[in-house]
Structure 1
Amino acid sequence: MNFRILIGPRRRNRRLGTEATILVRDYIFLNTDLKELTLGGYAFNPRAQRVYEKAGFILDSIDKADLEYEGEMIDALNMLLTRERWEEIYYKGHTLN
């Protein structure tokens, strides 16, 4: 399963992206038998990448020059979280602050 979120400028810096990502992540792995969760972001948004990494995702691949943004070609970052990695995080009680 792949998902995306968008937090508008007026709601940033309130940990809403982190909370939303963790809620979706845990819901999926607690209530389905999916083996992995993927998501994508763009290289011009390192804040999002940090949120995803805090939630346990790892960089899986990069699609070079995937998006033209303001006249510049931007890489897409593809991130992955396996059920096995999620179980390590979730059941060992790691905090994600």
Structure 2
Amino acid sequence: MAKRSNLANAWKSERLVYRAVEDDDEDKLSLLELNDGEPSGMAMLNIKPLAPGNKTSSDKFLTWAKGALILAFVCLPPEENQDQKAEGGEKKKPRPKPIGFLVMWYSRGAESAHHRTAEMGFGFGPQHRGKGYGTEAINWLLDWGFMRMGLHRVGLQAFEYNPEAIRLYKRLGFVEEGREREALLFERKWYDLVHMGMLEHEWEKLRELGK
């Protein structure tokens, strides 16, 4: 959790850095690859029909995300010796390459901001799953939401057919709040949509604040 004394590292965690998603072709392609570019990831984290994404779907997501609290790429920090030469021969740091993304938005739109309740979502490329990056990034986003934005509740949706994700969310401190029974059709079987959430005082307890 960031404190006043280390605000310079507010957009970093132990192994990762977080940066804005730019409105350019490079970042749009990265977002498309992370959000719609790989079927197993799409199926486990998205309820859209399982079909290849295209630039239009990426543009629609970016348009929607303009109203979000935050949309950020999760990146590995660039190597110290990876300076790139800009015009005029000057060196500049390369843009950190995304391995995933995070998004958080008010649950019922900006007009509900006074309720201080938000939802979160994320996605990671297949080669960077199973390495603890998701845990690290979700914890960073929770800290950002509760500490920087003053949220009272952060929620997410999980799918019954993805029990590994549900176990991860519970380890992180999320509580199952309810289910929409047989709301999801996956591979010709019906599954529950699981609603999970974390309250401000639960986050404070996890971070041992006030002790």
Q: Same fold (TM over 0.5)?
A: yes
Aligned match of 1:34 in 151, 171, 174? 151
Shift in Å at residue 42 of structure 1? 0.2
Q: What is the TM-score normalised by the length of structure 1?
A: 0.86
1:73 aligns with 2:190: yes
Shift in Å at residue 60 of structure 1? 0.5
Aligned match of 1:60 in 161, 177, 183? 177
Task: Name the count of aligned residue pairs.
Answer: 92
Deviations 1:25-68 (A, max 9, x none): 11101101211000011011111112211221110101111111
Shift in Å at residue 74 of structure 1? 1.3
The one-letter amino acid paired with 1:85 is E
Where in structure 2 are there 5+ consecutive unaligned residues? 1-117
Give the whole-Å Cα distance in 2 for the aligned partners of 1:5 and 1:45: 15
CA RMSD of aligned residues (A): 1.3
More strand as a share of residues: 1
Larger displacement relative to structure 2 (81-90 or 4-13): 4-13
1:86 aligns with 2:187: no
Shift in Å at residue 22 of structure 1? 0.6
1:9 aligns with 2:130: no
Q: What is the TM-score normalised by the length of structure 2?
A: 0.41
Identity rate of aligned residues, in percent? 26
Give the whole-Å Cα distance in 1 for the aligned partners of 2:123 and 2:182: 21
